[in-house]
Chains A and B, each alone.
Chain A
Amino acid sequence: MWTIIAEKELKEHLQSARFIVTAGISMLLLIASMALGIQHYKGRVAQHDQAIQMMLETAAQQTNWNMVPAAAYRKPDVMEVFVNGVNSDIGRFSEITLMRNVRLVRSEFSDDPMLAVFQFLDPTFVVLIVLSLLAILFTYNAVNGEKESGTLKLVFANGISRAEFILGKLAGGWVALLVPVVLAFLIGGLMLILMGVEMDAAQWGKFGFFVLASVLYFTCFMLIGVLVSAFTGRSSVSFLVLLVLWISAVLIIPKASTMLAGQAMPVATTDEVESRLASFATQARTEFFGGMQQRWRERFRPTEGMKPEEATQYQAENRPAWEKEDQDARQEMEKKIADHTARSYEEYYNQKNRQEQLAFSLAKMSPASMFQLAAMKLAGTDTGLKRRYEDAMKNYRDQYTKFVQQKGGGFGGMRITVGRGSGGSVSMGGSQEGTKIDVGEMPRFQSPQYTLGEALTASLFDLGLLTIFNILAFVGAFIAFLRFDMR
């Protein structure tokens, strides 16, 4: 019996101008957003490759590893086509130097504020805003509209149970919306292949789950629509109620919750953290230099009474030990700074995590945030992206500095020798006059892996919430309809 209802529902939708216009528009938007996204992604890849290429070219001109403008670049990921997330907000690369901590700078939006003004049109946005609005548009009069047009009574003049009716209605409406959405994503997938974008199995998997999340999300709004429609007598009222719900869920709750959390749990700013770190480092270095000066004075003291030859002899004998002592002191100082830095950042990130957790748990009152967070985590463009890259870049920095030190560079790279009355020279540590360095030896930065498994684990909770939300809304709509006053 319910299949008759479902069939009627499907036909009714497919034949209505409303459906053709709106489903056509959302399909068009989904496809257009993916096409633009792919183009943009290709641009990003080209930019990334070019940046690395140019870095290597400049490096190849150098005779000294200290002069290499080393940097680690964030590698574009195809998933950005679907979920741009915070990708354009966080820095694209970090300089890798001994003197500075890793810091992602020059985000796409800061380089090109033009893009930031209206932000991106990615499929996530289309699903988030347009599909949810569409879902409401299709369901706001699902029950009370049939009452208003009198068809509800006509239907129930036949031997059909309420449960069958509502099931059929939901199924029919759902399929009607599902078809254009899935079709649009299939076309998107085809475009990816045709436009020669390389995707591995994990990325296809993430894409699949993203489509699943999208379907869960708009189903959610459809169910809410039916629920409200079965709760209110008049369709004009249910539309208004749904519109207010939609505005709050999609536009207000997410924004308001992050801002509330930001105000409830303020976190020290990076400027503060960095300045504190800088002053700690300056102090540690001053201490180190002071200590070194002190030590050298002590070391020369025994030579005061000696003849010049004896003094030279003495110095020559002890120099290796002294240099070793200095080296150890320097290493100790650097370790002290590194430890302190690590601790400060750990603390900073812990604070930030707590703030973020509060913000996101508040935001999850709205299914829109559940979807958005799940999508970002699936694509790896969530707030954790920055942390993942920074960690990977820190490791790379350690690796790279070790490499440079092996090559003879290192702290205070420049060496000036000034002889008394004999002229002098300026040279860089580790440089061999005239020979260019071999960039082939340079360790390369590897982007952090974000596997399908990790993506799934991260987004599982949000996807689960979305599913639960769906079940609740379904049960709600079901019960509301069973109690619906048909008169």
Chain B
Amino acid sequence: MIKILLEKELRDIVSSTKFAITFGAAAILVILSFYVGIRNYEESTREFEAARAVNASNVASLTDWRQVQHKVFRKPQPLQVLVSGVTNDIGRTTEVRPHGELTLINSRYNVDPLFAVFRFLDLNFVVIIVFSLFAILFGYDAINGEKESGTLKLILSNSVSRADVVLSKLLGSFLALVVPLLVPILIGCLMLIGFGVPMSGTDWVQLALVIGGGLLCFGVFLMLSIMISASVTRSSASFLFSLVIWIFSVLIIPKGAVLVAAQAVDVPSLDGVEAQKRKFTLGQFDQRFQKMGEFLRADITRDETWSQRFVAFQDSLNKAYEKEREEYYRKLNEDWRNKKDHQEQWAFALSRLSPTAVFQIAAMNLANTDVSLKHRYLEDLNRYQDEYAEFLRKKTGSSGGMQIVMRFSGQQGAQEEERKSLNPTELPEFAERGRTLGETISASFADLGLLALLNILFFVGAFVRFLRFDVR
């Protein structure tokens, strides 16, 4: 029996005008989002390479490693254009100094507010807005629509159990809608290959999980709207009901949750933390000045090795202050980070009232464009900073930091040897370590699980509601 009902369900959906129009729109948008993502990736990669090249040529134009203003750039990742998350909001460029705190500047949206006006059209957006709407359009009258057209009574006048009817309805509409949706998604994946986007095996697994999550998100809305359809007598009422739920879950709850959490959980402003740091550093600066003055007054023999002694002294000063500063900053940062984490947990916990928010959080975690991207990236940068400081120490004999280099015009030879241009390839390579596949999956596991759970919940809900549905 179920086979007959399933077959009818598939045919009924696929042969409708509603399906032709909405599926057409969804398919175009999916393909468009892949295309735009790919072009965006190419463009960002071009920018990234250009910026690196300019950095290298700047280094090459110098003769002393101490003069170098070395910049590293956040490398665009293929998945980040499909699920942009916060990637366009946080900075891309960092000037690496051997010491001191590193910052990310020049976020895409800050540099190009043009793109911030309407934001990007990514796969994530299409899933959240279009897939969910698509699901509702087919789910809202699944049960009460059949009642209104009299077919439900006709079906049930046969020797068919209600369980069979509702099972075939739920499975049939899921299959009838999801299988066609896989087509544009597959085309998109082929485009990724065709355009030569360097996707690693890990990327593919993560993309597959994002797509899986998207389909689960679609499923949640489908099951939910079928459940509503089995709970409300009139299809016009169930449509309104589903639409209101859609507006809330897609547009209102996520935004509202974050804003409410931002107000309910107090986190001191980052500016305050920065000001404290600045104050501390300026205090150190003063002390350092006095120490240097003392050194100059104490060590008064200006012999051959004096300038080396001066550099060595500054080095030891730097080291001591650097350690102190790092300790202080670390404590401040950690303190702030803990409070912020607390706030973020609240915000996201609240926003998970909405299935689309659950999907978005999962997708961002999978694409590594979640809120902690900045934090993770800065940690990678800090590791690189140590490496860079070590490199500079080898090259220049000092570990960098604030340096005053004394040259006496009498000492000719030293100048001549420094005239040689720098070789930028000697610079240590910065590689974003990011997260491993395991870490990525475990970060998104709970949310994917939640989506699956919601599917089951609404599935059972629709099932139970239909068993009690008044077919008269």
Which residues of A pack against B, CB within 8 Å? 17-18, 21-22, 25, 29, 32, 36, 39-40, 43, 46-47, 50-51, 54-55, 57-58, 61-62, 67, 69, 85-86, 89-91, 103-107, 109-121, 125, 129-130, 133, 137, 236-237, 240-241, 243-244, 247, 251-252, 254-259, 261-263, 266, 269-272, 275-276, 278-279, 282-283, 293, 352, 355-356, 359, 363, 369, 372-373, 376, 382-383, 385-386, 414, 416, 418, 420-426, 428
B183 CB-CB contact with A under 8 Å: no
B50 CB-CB contact with A under 8 Å: yes
Is there an interface contact between B116 and A69, defined as CB atoms closer than 8 Å? no
Give the interface size class of chain B: 35 or more
Chain B: minimal CB distance from A262 (Å): 7
Number of A-B contacts defined by CB within 8 Å:
279
Is there an interface contact between B256 and A36, defined as CB atoms closer than 8 Å? yes
Over the window 44-62 of chain B, the binary record of Cβ atoms lying under 8 Å from chain A Cβ atoms (1 yes, 0 no) is 0001001100110110011
Interface of A is mostly: helix
**What would 4 more interface pairs be, CB under 8 Å, given A61-B279, A243-B22, A385-B113?**
A40-B259, A89-B89, A89-B113, A254-B117
Is there an interface contact between A58 and B297, defined as CB atoms closer than 8 Å? no
Q: Which residues of B contact A105 (CB under 8 A)?
A: 91, 103, 105, 110
Is there an interface contact between B275 and A51, defined as CB atoms closer than 8 Å? yes
Per the 8 Å Cβ criterion, residues 388-405 of B in contact with A are 404
Per the 8 Å Cβ criterion, residues 368-415 of B in contact with A are 370-371, 373-374, 404, 406, 409
Q: Which residues of A contact B456 (CB under 8 A)?
A: none
B443 CB-CB contact with A under 8 Å: no
Is there an interface contact between A121 and B61, defined as CB atoms closer than 8 Å? no
Q: A118-B255, A121-B252, A240-B18 are in contact. Are A270 and B111 (CB under 8 A)?
A: yes
Nearest 4 pairs of A and B residues by beta carbon = A54-B275, A121-B255, A275-B54, A89-B116
Q: Select from chain A the residue with minimum beta-carbon distance to B106.
A: A270
Is there an interface contact between B91 and A278, defined as CB atoms closer than 8 Å? no
B104 CB-CB contact with A under 8 Å: yes
Q: Which residues of B contact A422 (CB under 8 A)?
A: 300
Is there an interface contact between A61 and B282, defined as CB atoms closer than 8 Å? yes
B73 CB-CB contact with A under 8 Å: yes
Q: Which residues of B contact A57 (CB under 8 A)?
A: 275, 279
Is there an interface contact between B247 and A109, defined as CB atoms closer than 8 Å? no
Q: Which residues of B contact A428 (CB under 8 A)?
A: 289
Q: A50-B271, A55-B275 are in contact. Are A36 and B263 (CB under 8 A)?
A: yes
Q: Which residues of B contact A275 (CB under 8 A)?
A: 51, 54-55, 58, 71
Of A103, A121, A257, A259, which contacts B40 at CB under 8 A?
A259
Q: Select from chain B the residue with minimum beta-carbon distance to A248.
A: B25
Of B110, B257, B296, which contacts A91 at CB under 8 A?
B110
Is there an interface contact between B91 and A110, defined as CB atoms closer than 8 Å? yes
Q: Select from chain B the residue with minimum beta-carbon distance to A255.
A: B121
Chain A: minimal CB distance from B421 (Å): 13
Task: Show 6 A/B contacts (Cβ-Cβ < 8 Å), sorted by A.
Answer: A51-B272, A54-B271, A107-B107, A259-B39, A272-B51, A376-B117
